[in-house]
């Protein structure tokens, strides 16, 4: 089982002006992957997001981080930039599949700037802020996550051999 962190990026959520529904939805959906060991709500501040992602990867050594929020076109949406600044390698297929599946439901999915990538031994996945979109996006990528985490952690066999 893997150690999972959830980071909700929301100015209003961080100020207590909005109840976060997306973070708890993620927590419920990922129980089969492991334990949520960290759940935090932070404002849309790129340096704060970067610092938290680095801490979760390097110090707390979580295996998987889901961010929710900050992936759109709002002037305060910086989650993808923060993620790109801290990852070593992108995993573009995850974001591509999320957008592809979301496009089947809404043409607005093409406006998502979500990214996914690896920092050291941690996979980071940006999810949208909407609880409905979080559920739809997670449903699309969940089947591949166990194998990806197994490979990343060295617990799995090579992709072509399994």
Query: Mind listing the pLDDT tens digit of every residue in the chain (162 residues)?
Result: 999 999 999 999 999 999 999 999 999 999 999 999 999 999 999 999 999 999 999 999 999 999 999 999 999 999 999 999 999 999 999 999 999 999 999 999 999 999 999 999 999 999 999 999 999 999 999 999 999 999 999 987 665 554
Domains of the chain: 2-155 (3.40.980.10)
User: Under a CB-based contact definition with an 8 Å cutoff, are residues 121 and 115 in contact?
Assistant: no
User: Under a CB-based contact definition with an 8 Å cutoff, are residues 127 and 137 in contact?
Assistant: yes
Q: Which long-range contacts (CB under 8 A, 24 or more apart) does 19-28 make?
A: 20/68, 21/131, 22/68, 22/69, 22/127, 22/128, 22/129, 22/130, 22/131, 22/134, 23/68, 25/131, 25/134, 25/135, 26/66, 26/68, 26/127, 26/134, 26/138
- pTM for the structure as a whole: 0.95
């Amino acid at each position: 089982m893997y150690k999972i962190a959830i980071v909700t990026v929301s100015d209003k959520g961080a100020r207590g002006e909005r109840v976060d529904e997306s973070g708890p939805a993620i927590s419920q959906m990922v129980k089969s992957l492991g334990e949520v060991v960290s759940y935090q709500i932070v404002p849309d501040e790129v340096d704060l997001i970067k610092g938290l992602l680095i801490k979760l990867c390097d110090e707390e050594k979580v295996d998987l981080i889901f961010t929710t929020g900050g992936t759109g076109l709002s002037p305060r949406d910086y989650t993808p930039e923060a993620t790109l600044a801290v990852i070593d390698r992108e995993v573009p297929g995850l974001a591509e599949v999320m957008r592809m599946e979301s496009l089947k439901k809404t043409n607005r999915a093409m406006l998502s700037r979500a990214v996914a990538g690896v920092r050291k031994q941690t996979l980071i996945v940006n999810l949208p802020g909407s609880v409905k979109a979080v559920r739809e996006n997670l449903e699309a990528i969940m089947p591949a996550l166990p194998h990806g985490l197994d490979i990343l952690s060295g617990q799995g066999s090579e992709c072509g051999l399994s």
